[in-house]
Structure 1
Amino acid sequence: MRQRAGSQHEVAVQKQLRAKRLTTEQVGEERLQKALAFSGIGSRRDMEELIAAARVSVNGKIAELGAKVKPGDEVRLDGKRVTMRWPDRLARVVLYHKQEGELVTRDDPQGRVTVFERLPRLTSSKWIAVGRLDFNTSGLLIFTTSGDLANQMTHPRFEMEREYAVRVLGELTEEQMTELRKGIELDDGPAKFTSIRAQGGEGTNRWYSVVLKEGRNREVRRMFEHYGLTVSRLMRVRFGALTLPGRLKRGQFYELSETEVLAVMKWAGLKLNGEAKE
């Protein structure tokens, strides 16, 4: 999705898109359940249930389903004031190179490093992780301020491709690779690689490039373990149309420019504000 930078045309486009970012004061009304969900209180369905149970108030009045809210309104849940967050009109997108040993969570009771500590700070919105990587997996993580973009990329119905570089102790046979393409049975259901290619290796270690269209817990590792092979290193290198930049070192992030964000939104079939195109 990288765009060539430096031309006068691109600079002009970026300035135009940057102007579409809204300040908090310029954000219009939003459905209450969506605004609460974006503020990190819970899912939209959870928020609808809270509203229906008369547990949410806006400016001192009990809210009803269908109510809207805007910056400056006082929102309370069970009598406690809620700190509301508001999205920019134009989404922000960050590519992060996760290291092994980092957690994809906002807070860890054990005080371990979380990926959110590495990201740029936001004042009027929040970063949403597009999928996850487990503790021992490295590689591409995507963060955005658009919940609609995150949903578009992670919902199973969209079958978004994830590509990984995998190092294992041992080697698959051609027959086993064919079986992995056709599908095998795991404890939680069938699983298959859209593609799998041997990438060579040294000694008893072998590298493979694999692609799959879902992100179940430890799925790649379990698929190799099905044949008695232990994964010693696992790195995600691509998620959908977004690829881990070659020069991006572990623990570093790259924020997409306005023109790159526009390309991502078009690729995902979304408008600039995150709404689905009709």
Structure 2
Amino acid sequence: MLSAMLPVSAPQPDESGLFFVAKPPSSRPPSRPSGTRGASGKGPRRLARPAGEGPRRSAKSGREAREDTRRERAPARAGERRPPRASGTSGASGPSGDKRRPPTDKRRDAKTAANAAQERRPVRPPRKISHGANLPRAVATPKKPGEPQRIAKLLARAGIASRRDVERMIADGRIARDGVLIDTPATLLTSLHGITVDGNPVKEPAPAKLFRFHKPAGTLTAARDPKGRPTIYDRLPADLPRLMPIGRLDYNTEGLLLLTTDGELKRQMELPSSSIERTYRARAFGEISQTQLEDLVEGIEIDGIRYGKIDANLERRTGRNQWIELTLTEGKNREVRRVLEHFGLEVSRLIRTSYGPFELADLPMGGVDQIRAHDLVAFRKSLGGGGGD
């Protein structure tokens, strides 16, 4: 009964005359046509390119392709020669192949030579920067005691004479070394051993000494004067060592004048880069206000000469006469007088009351005394240079 209800196709003969039974239709969907996607696809599949139109996709499996790529990238073993990579094959540079040109023997040899030269080049040690290399000359690192120095400098430090006077003495044939005359001031020495002046041996320089001197007005800050005017050395006691003035004071200027036995100390204190403060008191006739004096803090230019910062204060006034206190660091020639004369004032008296930490205080006119050694040592540690008016 059940078999009678199902449709059964009749047997059909094949080409050989035999009969076969037709199978019922399968529920499996028909296969896709070549080059198309299924019902859920997003469009037709791109057909394979014909031969000669570009690189074809490798027929190897993914694992085999990765092994080939790894083998190509690995460095060649000694004596191994690899076949050139075919153009169009996939390489490290992408699907279009490795476009980098392999280096020729000439380029390879040049690169190898350059690398070898780089390895042979000596390694330079890091450059040592001298702490005094970029500083002003006044505060540059001084030479060590054992280094050679010019003979004029050593004799000046020993208190024989100034550098210029030493040069003149050398030209006159007064200085010798081990009995042989020295003919040039550029002679370099490490010490004064064997040096004679006028046949007398020169001793090594003693520790520097510094003196205060209350210079009176009407004396010249010089060793000699062609006009015959009195100098500071005419007022100094005869039992003092040879002293050199630090800076200068005008012929009519009075007050504190520092004297030293050390030429190097003199030079350092005279240079403007030392920025040592000096204070003056001026008695001037005329009219001036505190506001005008305060403007000097910014400096002033007079007749093309630029004067730096001046701290000026009006102390007291009597009629048209006033006392003005001025503190400066440059100390150009006649600086205080020229600045006050620029305001129409007539300076009748000018006194220097201090130079750095050293003050005139109650030192009498024409008096002189020595700065204590420990005060000088403390001052030299913070030294920067200076000058005078």
Q: TM-score, normalised by structure 2?
A: 0.52
Query: Deviation digits for residues 199-244 of structure 1, max 9, x if unmatched?
Result: 0121210111101111211110000111111111110011111111
Q: Indicate how the Cα distance of structure 1 residues 96 and 225 shifts in structure 2: closer, same or farther if over 3 A, else same.
A: same
Q: Is contact 1:35-1:84 (8 Å) kept?
A: no
Tell me what 2:234 maps to. 117
Separation in structure 2 between the aligned mates of residue 205 and residue 82 of structure 1, nearest angstrom:
58
Shift of 1:168: 0.6
> Is 1:148 equivalent to 2:264 in the alignment?
yes
What amino acid maps onto 2:229 in structure 1?
A: R
Asked if 1:196 is matched to 2:312, the reply is yes
Residue equivalent to 2:120: none
SS of 1:132 mapped into structure 2: coil
1:262 aligns to 2:377 (yes or no): yes
Q: Which runs of 5+ in 1 are unaligned?
A: 1-28, 76-80, 271-278
Q: Using the alignment, how far apart are the partners of 1:37 and 1:248 within structure 2?
A: 28
Check whether the contact 2:274–2:384 (CA below 8 A) recurs between aligned residues. Answer: no
TM-score by length of 1: 0.71
Report the counterpart of residue 255 of structure 2 in structure 1.
139
Q: 1:42 aligns with which of 163, 176, 194?
A: 163
The aligned amino acid for 1:145 is: T
Contact residue 35 and residue 85 of structure 1 kept, 8 A: no
Q: Are the aligned partners of 1:103 and 1:113 in contact in 2 as well (CA < 8 Å)?
A: yes
Counterpart residue type for residue 320 of structure 2: T
- Give, in whole Å, the separation in 1 of the partners of 2:369 and 2:324: 26
Q: Does 1:243 align with 2:243?
A: no
Displacement of 1:262: 2.8
1:134 maps to a residue whose letter is D
Contact 1:99 1:251 in 2 (8 A): yes
Report the alpha carbon displacement of residue 83 of structure 1 after superposing the two structures with TM.
6.6
Partners in 2 of 1:220 and 1:269 — Cα distance?
21
Contact 1:94 1:256 in 2 (8 A): yes
Q: 1:106 and 1:71 mapped to 2: Cα distance?
A: 28
Q: CA RMSD in A?
A: 3.2
Which amino acid counterpart does residue 117 of structure 1 have in structure 2?
D
Cα distance in 2 between the residues matched to 1:267 and 1:116: 30
- Rg larger in 1 or in 2? 2
How far does residue 88 in structure 1 lie from its aligned partner after superposition?
A: 4.3
Secondary structure of 2:317 counterpart? coil
> Secondary structure at the residue paired with 2:318?
coil
Of residues 208, 219, 222, the one that matches 1:105 is 222
Q: Is the contact made by 1:160 and 1:240 (CA closer than 8 Å) also made in structure 2?
A: yes
More strand by share: 1
The match for 1:12 is: none
One-letter amino acid of the counterpart of residue 245, structure 2: A
Q: Contact 1:193–1:210 (CA<8 Å) still a contact in 2? A: no
Q: Tell me which amino acid in the other structure corresponds to 2:376.
A: V
Deviations 1:51-95 (A, max 9, x none): 9xx9974234365732345255335xxxxx477765643211110
Task: Name the counterpart of 1:8.
Answer: none
Question: Structure 1 residues 32 and 206 mapped into 2: Cα distance closer, same or farther (>3 Å)?
Answer: same
1 or 2 for the larger relative contact order (CA 8 Å, sep ≥6)?
Answer: 1
1:186 aligns with 2:302: yes
What corresponds to 2:152 in structure 1?
Answer: 33
Is 1:70 the counterpart of 2:216 in the alignment?
no
Deviation of the 1:136 alpha carbon: 0.8
Relative to structure 1, the CA distance from residue 43 to residue 195 in structure 2 (aligned partners, 3 Å threshold; closer, same or farther) is same
Instruction: Please give the alpha-carbon distance, in whole angstroms, between the structure 2 residues aligned to 1:126 and 1:253.
Output: 14
Partner Cα distance (2:373, 2:232) in 1: 23
